[in-house]
């Protein structure tokens, strides 16, 4: 009987300890995201380019072109988030226009990346995008937002 009680007590303490560490990671991620929001578009572009260089083994010329493209994207994103604060309810036509612009931008990005990267690098980049979208979708389902 003592052994069963001791085992049950140990299992409860392990479960409590495991749950506490998850909260710490969540707080740490929130802090990191907040710090990332404060980066300039140039810093964001540089970091993303370096990450892509490591993943795709980019040449010097590819790095320069990708960094230029990433800088353009980072500036647009920064502007979008600044304008987002004072947005109002959108009509269905305005929403359609915004979504259409966003998708046009994604199509243009793919075309530019295809012209910069080799076929093998492009396939690897596309595969990474699909994985990122799957992770994001899975995360939003966990949070109950979908």
Report pLDDT for 72.
Answer: 93
- pLDDT, tens digit, for every residue of 85-122? 666 777 888 889 988 998 999 999 999 999 999 999 99
Q: Structural domain of residue 128, as residue ranges?
A: 101-146
**Within-domain flag for 24:** no
**Within-domain flag for 15:** no
**Within-domain flag for 132:** yes
**Within-domain flag for 131:** yes
**Within-domain flag for 22:** no
**Within-domain flag for 130:** yes
**Within-domain flag for 121:** yes
**Within-domain flag for 11:** no
Q: CA–CA separation, 84 vs 70, rounded Å?
A: 21
- pLDDT, tens digit, for every residue of 14-70? 766 665 555 667 777 778 777 777 888 999 999 999 999 999 999 999 999 999 999
- How many structural domains is the chain composed of? 1
pTM of the predicted model, to two decimals? 0.67
């Amino acid at each position: 009987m003592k052994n069963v009680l001791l085992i049950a007590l140990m299992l409860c303490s392990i479960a409590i300890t495991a749950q506490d560490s998850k909260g710490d990671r969540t707080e740490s991620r929130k802090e990191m995201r907040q710090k990332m929001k404060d980066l300039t578009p140039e810093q964001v572009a540089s970091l993303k380019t370096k990450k892509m260089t490591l993943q795709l083994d980019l040449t010097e010329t590819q790095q320069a072109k990708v960094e230029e493209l990433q800088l353009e994207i980072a500036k647009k994103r920064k502007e979008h988030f600044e304008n987002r604060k004072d947005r109002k309810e959108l009509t269905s036509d305005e929403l359609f226009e915004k979504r259409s612009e966003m998708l046009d931008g994604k199509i243009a990005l793919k075309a530019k990346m295809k012209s910069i990267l080799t076929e093998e690098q492009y396939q690897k980049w596309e595969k990474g995008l699909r994985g990122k979208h799957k992770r994001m979708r899975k995360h939003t389902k966990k949070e109950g937002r979908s």
